[in-house]
Amino acid sequence: MAKEVVKKIKLEIEAGKATPAPPVGTALGPVGINLGEFCTKFNEATRDRMGDIIPCEISVYEDRTFDFILKSSPAAFLIKKYAKVQKGGAKGSSEIVGKLSKADLKTIAETKLADLNAYDVEHAMNIIAGTAKNMGIEIEE
């Protein structure tokens, strides 16, 4: 018989750096799962993506066990990483703060394809380009 999911929790944690301290502890402590065990499993699973922000969906079961699914990093985080900027423009598309090449755009789109509502890489590239434009990042032709 399958276990019944009591709660689903979504967190964004830096890869390899989960600790029982907030925000992880405050989100997972009340549901009664073992924080040390979660942190160890998460850090081991994300060791190869150190420095990236990783969205994580945690399913907590009635017997206080858990499973988690790792998603790809947020599009805005990847755009800032490839454009080598600290943050997007304060005025959106009217303030250009960085540039992104078509090759970088395609790499980001391929990374995010599974999490986007797109059928192929071309559509995913359009979605990522729109996000970049709103952040003040220019796409080089």
Gap between the Cα atoms of 97 and 135, Å rounded: 8
pLDDT, position 1? 56
State the total domains in the chain. 2
Residue 110 pLDDT: 94
* Same structural domain, 62 and 89: no
Asked if 87 and 106 sit in the same domain, the reply is: yes
Count of residues in the chain? 141
What is the pTM for the complete model shown? 0.83
At which of 19, 47, 70 does a domain end? 70
CA separation for the pair 25, 93 (Å, rounded): 37
Q: State the DSSP code for 3.
A: P
Domain boundary among 70, 100, 118: 70
Amino acid at 124: A
Do 115 and 61 share a domain, yes or no? no
The answer on 58 and 87 residing in a single domain is no
- CB neighbours (10 Å) of residue 17? 14
- Which pLDDT belongs to residue 22? 86
Is residue 57's pLDDT more than 80?
yes
Cα gap 130→138, rounded to integer Å:
10
CA distance 79 to 5: 34
CATH number at residue 81: 1.10.10.250
Contact 33, 54 (CB under 8 A): no
Q: Name the domain boundary from 36, 70, 104.
A: 70
**Same domain, yes or no: 45 and 59:** yes
**Interior angle at CA 112, CA 114 and CA 46, nearest 5:** 95
Strands 98-100 and 137-139: parallel
Let me know whether 33 and 66 are in one domain. yes
Mean pLDDT of 3-29: 90
Same domain, 81 and 58: no
Per-residue pLDDT reduced to its tens digit, 69-91: 999 999 999 999 999 999 888 88
Whether residue 58 sits in one domain with residue 38: yes
Domain of residue 9, CATH code: 3.30.1550.10
Q: Which range of residues forms the domain containing residue 123?
A: 75-139
